[in-house]
Amino acid sequence: MTSEVTDLLIKWSDGDQTALEALAPLVEVELRRLAHHFMGGERPGHILDTMGLVNEAYLRLVKQNRVRWQNRAHFFGIAGQMMRRILSNYARDQRRLRRGGGALRVSLSEVALVTHARLEEVLAIDEALARLAAYDPPDGERMCQVVEMRFFGGLSVEEVAEVLRVSVSTVNRDWKFAKGWLARAIGGGAPETDA
């Protein structure tokens, strides 16, 4: 099993997207397990929004899975894509539920309200990313991956560079441009802020 996963990871980092399809469920299960471990029994609170936890989660995951995840970059590369998928599906579900159950009273705690706003943002990013991927092929797709890994996966610029096998400065350039492009796409127009 281990070698299969390793093989898949290598294939994926060589650009084989079908390998990702095979890995995705594994990663999702790992993520879910991890999430349950951290959130087990506790109500979501502000402390969970700190970077410290993300790092701890990552370290723990890597430690536990050293057999499966040969390196941090591979894991986070996939984790980023997965997280994008999970979050945007979830956000769509929530939106649908709210619409479908319009007559019902929806009680949301303050935390949940924050979550709600954040989810809407995630959804907007997800949708904009789909358009960014088509920008200036083939670079748009890479920019898209950079965002996935940085924003959804929590990778550093250096790590992204390692996964994508490009230079750090390329990742930096992609990241900045994508931020500008996405901010404009979502914010609904920079000219006002420019003015």
Q: What residues from 153 to 192 belong to the interface with another protein (CB under 8 A)?
A: 153-154, 173, 176-177, 179-184, 187, 189-191
Q: Is 10 in the site for another protein (CB under 8 A)?
A: no
Q: How many residues bind another protein (CB under 8 A)?
A: 79
What are the tokens at 25?
């469920």
Q: Is 25 in the site for another protein (CB under 8 A)?
A: yes
Looking at beta carbons only, is 1 or 14 nearer to another protein? Answer: 1
Q: Is 193 in the site for another protein (CB under 8 A)?
A: yes
Q: Is 130 in the site for another protein (CB under 8 A)?
A: no
3, 14, 17, 107: which one contacts another protein (CB under 8 A)?
107
What are the tokens at 116?
């709600």
Kindly state the DSSP code that residue 6 receives in the 8-state scheme: H
Measure the CA–CA gap between 88 and 65, rounded to whole angstroms. Answer: 26
15, 16, 59, 106: which one contacts another protein (CB under 8 A)?
106
Q: Is 86 in the site for another protein (CB under 8 A)?
A: yes
Measure the CA–CA gap between 134 and 168, rounded to whole angstroms. Answer: 22
The DSSP-derived string for 97-133 is HHHHTTTS-----HHHHHHHHHHHHHHHHHHHHHHHT
Range 43-82, binding another protein (CB under 8 A): 44, 48-51, 53-54, 57, 63-68
Do residues 62 and 84 touch, judged by C-beta distance below 8 A? no
